[in-house]
Structure 1
Amino acid sequence: MWRTAREQLALLVRAVRAPSHAATPLLGDAPRALARRAPYAVALVAVAVLLPTTVVLLTSGYALPGAVAGALAVAQTTPLLLAVTRPLQAWWIVFAADVTGAASLTGEETMGRPWPWPPTVIIGYLILMALLGLRESRHTLVAVWLATGIAGAVFELVRSDLSDGSWLLLFVLAGVVLLAAGALRERSDVQRRLTAQESISETERARRTLLEERARIARELHDVVAHHMSVITVQADSAPYRIDGLPAAAREEFGTIAAGARESLAEMRRLLTVLRSDGTGGELVPQPGVDRIQQLVEATVRAGVPAELSLSVGPEAVPQAVDLSAYRIAQEALANVVRHAPGAATRVSVLSDGTDLTVLIVNGPPAEPAAGPLETAGTGHGLVGMRERVRLTGGRLDTGPLPDGGFRVAARLPLAGPGTEEGTA
């Protein structure tokens, strides 16, 4: 029991010896300059009022010499300015000055007057408690409160004939002020931590969304690349039978090509197994392209959105990656129209100039309350997925609201994507 009491006493002593925060001004991180200056203004006004009042009270009411009264008044009030940045150090100065002042007011002149704490001491001390409670930890506040009560109780025991109970009044009021200020500080700290946690969570959510969309794109592109690799394997395997008179070196070269293609296909299947191990399913279906955008527009019309399609793709071959990306961009944009702008007139244009494939979706302002999503198979990641698909093909994406309340999505996808000779020329 005594050991526990000593440990608690040591803890309280350590609490009043070291501050729990850096020497930064109160409200120093406030966005407005007026709020940052407010603590200094309050402390300055308190000192300007309490300093002369304390001098007058000590000299006329308690008959202290002017020099002693002035010294005590300065020590008891001016540390309030220090308390804006270093409240615990200011408390040490004020507490020592208050105790010294109480010990000095033990003459006959004090009879019938507030003792050990005069009114000015109580007011200044409570202001200090408010500044202290807004900065220091709970242990420090408890230690300061107990020290205040112990000092008053000691004076009560030593000179009970002079005491009028002001020590108990200060003890109670200091506890109330410390409790209120400490609760306000802890509430502010909790809000600050919640804000920081929400920011971290939002960053992690955006990062997870990006990674999920990239994994989805990788799963879809597997089928595109696998098709080309399969064609290479079949052509390399059948070349010795389709072409007469091949030398042995050429036959061996075709065999090496076929073996390398088969090995690449096996590696891709293993990669696909990893990408599809998240429980999203691994069904193998033909990947959609520009030719299926007409079905998207028809589904949009059935969902209550008046949509029009302008499709103009030339005879040139559209790379499968571009074909798939164009479809997914149109799918996500139309799904967003149904979700966020139901009933809005929408125009979809897919144009090819031989160099780029342009996908343009423009909708007007919503005409009715929101309904359900267009397709449950959509990515659900909106502009993040569009940006990743455009980046994959080396294209450009332009999105943003329109003056009339509508929205615009424009993607330009090069038909000669990155990595090809035309694309890198």
Structure 2
Amino acid sequence: MSTSPPPPDRAQARRRLLTAAHTGLRDLGAALSTPSPSDRVPLAQASRAWVRALPYVIVMGAIAALLPVTVTVLVQDYRVPGALAGALATAQTAPLLLALRRPLPAWWIIFAADVLGGFALLAADGVTDRSWPWTPMVVVGYLLLMVLLAVRESRRTLLAVWLTTGAAGLVFELISQDKSDGIHLLLFVLSGVVLVVTAALRERGEAQRQLAEQETISEAERSRRTLLEERTRIARELHDVVAHHMSVITVQADSAPYRIQHLPPEAREEFTTIAASARESLTEMRRLLAVLRSEDAQGERAPQPGLDKLQQLVETTVRAGVPAELSLAAELGAVPQAVDLSAYRIAQEALSNVVRHAPGAATRVSVTSDDNDLTVLVVNGPATTPGSALETSGTGHGLVGMRERVRLTGGSLDVGPLPDGGFRVAARLPLRTKGTAP
């Protein structure tokens, strides 16, 4: 009696299945050749030790529970020989420990063991009325493996694993529809759900981590930009100071032959050279200022203020609602222009911070001097009305500008909150550089 050929639909289905399985295995092999993003165990970066040990506890507990149960079920229910049952159970569960670091190689081992187990159960005597080709223990272990795999691998790899799982179940379904109870379809659906959920949670965590890193980088860039802006602003302001000195040198060099009688020709030529060099330096400084000057700068060509403008600054602060008073030493002596400008700007920034962050606070500005240093002290009490927090992080223009001006003159700056809720700014500016005579 001849055997009739399989129906055309069944033959086409088998060809499509084999083609899909070949494509999935090819993609999976390509994914396997690509290294994982990291070989760290999940939760390895946790701060607490028990959290870092949690993956090991879960996996070891799963192995300890699945291994003996699998052996018992295979031997007693499916009537598989003991040696074969032990080998299958070990290959299906023990690689879960490897999956903590290398989930894809562990999947290869477990998947091959599950497929071999399906063929072994096909020839066993106790398959009737029991799950085939996957046992319930295989389903549980495989879903745990999917979690470990989705935590580490790419979307392409996870899709290839999922399709390969479905293809293997479909192969067994085509081999023996009588013994199949649909558990391969259950594993296919559950593994897909586990992969999607776990991968989504992982990508969400990675997105949050990248966002936090980007915010940190943005904050650092803002701080750096603020610092550069303040330095550029200080450079523009110091241009007037240096230009004044260069102008004095030019005038003195040009007028020296007329002011000094019987000047030798060599000295006249030397003064002429000095004046020409000074004028050339002034020209270069004007070009430098044109580069430093911002397009939207306003009022930068006005004379730079100094300590003589402090009284007007304090009066402006009082009109802004801050009760401020000024204590200015009667005899400050000779103050270099750079120090004079820096002292004014420090007091100006400190008072601006009081207006912004401590409205209504009683404020005292004190400027004293000895033979070596000029001291600027601005102390305010607690705010009388609610305001924003004091600028203690150093990311705003105020404190950054103060620090840069103090660093420019070689002095020191002490800022910080007071016990009563106020704030203190103390700047010490040297009146001369080291080695300079009074």
User: Fold-level match, TM-score > 0.5?
Assistant: yes
Q: How many angstroms apart in 2 are the aligned matches of 1:135 and 1:313?
A: 73
The residue number in structure 1 matching 2:85 is 69
Instruction: Pick which of 360-369 and 127-136 moved more.
Output: 360-369
What one-letter code is carried by the residue in structure 2 that aligns with 1:56? Answer: T
Q: How many angstroms apart in 1 are the aligned matches of 2:47 and 2:316?
A: 50
The residue number in structure 1 matching 2:436 is 421
SS of the counterpart of 1:309? strand
Pairing 1:102-251 to 2, within 5 Å after superposition:
102-106=118-122, 107-251=124-268
Q: How many angstroms apart in 1 are the aligned matches of 2:205 and 2:88?
A: 35
SS of the counterpart of 1:110? coil
What one-letter code is carried by the residue in structure 2 that aligns with 1:316? Answer: G
Q: Tell me, yes or no, if structure 1 residue 352 matches structure 2 residue 369.
A: yes
The residue number in structure 1 matching 2:6 is none
The residue number in structure 1 matching 2:336 is 319
- Kindly provide the CA deviation profile for residues 272-293 of structure 1, in whole angstroms up to 9, marking residues without a partner as x: 0100144325741111111212
CA contact 1:314–1:354 (8 Å) conserved in 2: no
Normalising by structure 1, report the TM-score: 0.92
Instruction: Pick which of 272-281 and 94-103 moved more.
Output: 272-281
Q: How many angstroms apart in 2 are the aligned matches of 1:315 and 1:99?
A: 93
SS of the counterpart of 1:136? coil
SS of the counterpart of 1:351? strand
SS of the counterpart of 1:322? helix
- Kindly provide the CA deviation profile for residues 145-178 of structure 1, in whole angstroms up to 9, marking residues without a partner as x: 0110011100010011110000000000000000
Q: Tell me, yes or no, if structure 1 residue 59 matches structure 2 residue 75.
A: yes
- Kindly provide the CA deviation profile for residues 338-362 of structure 1, in whole angstroms up to 9, marking residues without a partner as x: 1111122222111111210001111
Shift of 1:134: 0.9
What one-letter code is carried by the residue in structure 1 that aligns with 2:206? Answer: D
Q: How many angstroms apart in 1 are the aligned matches of 2:49 and 2:295?
A: 51
The residue number in structure 2 matching 1:267 is 284
SS of the counterpart of 1:152? helix
The residue number in structure 1 matching 2:12 is none
Shift of 1:249: 1.3
Q: How many angstroms apart in 1 are the aligned matches of 2:332 and 2:262?
A: 36
Instruction: Pick which of 164-173 and 270-279 moved more.
Output: 270-279
Q: How many angstroms apart in 2 are the aligned matches of 1:169 and 1:7?
A: 23
Q: How many angstroms apart in 2 are the aligned matches of 1:142 and 1:365?
A: 62
What one-letter code is carried by the residue in structure 1 that aligns with 2:405? Answer: R
Consecutive unaligned residues of structure 1, counting only runs of 5 or more, are 372-378
Change (3 A) 1:152 1:228: same
- Percent identity between matched residues is 68
- Kindly provide the CA deviation profile for residues 2-41 of structure 1, in whole angstroms up to 9, marking residues without a partner as x: 9x99988743431245443232211222222222211111
Q: How many angstroms apart in 2 are the aligned matches of 1:124 and 1:265?
A: 81
Q: Tell me, yes or no, if structure 1 residue 404 matches structure 2 residue 417.
A: no
Q: How many angstroms apart in 2 are the aligned matches of 1:19 and 1:121?
A: 27
Q: How many angstroms apart in 1 are the aligned matches of 2:110 and 2:57?
A: 19
1:79 to 89, 95, 99: 95
The residue number in structure 2 matching 1:309 is 326
The residue number in structure 1 matching 2:271 is 254
SS of the counterpart of 2:100? coil
Q: How many angstroms apart in 2 are the aligned matches of 1:10 and 1:99?
A: 18
CA contact 1:19–1:88 (8 Å) conserved in 2: no
| Count, aligned residues | 413
Pairing 1:22-61 to 2, within 5 Å after superposition:
22-61=38-77
Change (3 A) 1:64 1:176: same
The residue number in structure 1 matching 2:303 is 286
SS of the counterpart of 2:279? helix
What one-letter code is carried by the residue in structure 1 that aligns with 2:415? Answer: T
Shift of 1:315: 4.5
CA contact 2:25–2:164 (8 Å) conserved in 1: no
The residue number in structure 2 matching 1:296 is 313
Change (3 A) 1:7 1:389: farther
CA contact 1:338–1:370 (8 Å) conserved in 2: no
What one-letter code is carried by the residue in structure 2 that aligns with 1:305? Answer: V
What one-letter code is carried by the residue in structure 2 that aligns with 1:88? Answer: L
- Kindly provide the CA deviation profile for residues 304-328 of structure 1, in whole angstroms up to 9, marking residues without a partner as x: 2222221115251100100110111
- Kindly provide the CA deviation profile for residues 195-244 of structure 1, in whole angstroms up to 9, marking residues without a partner as x: 22222222221111111111100000000110111111111111111222
Q: How many angstroms apart in 2 are the aligned matches of 1:287 and 1:269?
A: 16
SS of the counterpart of 2:335? coil
- Kindly provide the CA deviation profile for residues 19-78 of structure 1, in whole angstroms up to 9, marking residues without a partner as x: 432322112222222222111111111111111111121111111122221211111111
Instruction: Pick which of 282-291 and 204-213 moved more.
Output: 282-291
2:113 to 74, 97, 110: 97
Q: Tell me, yes or no, if structure 1 residue 340 matches structure 2 residue 369.
A: no
Shift of 1:83: 1.1
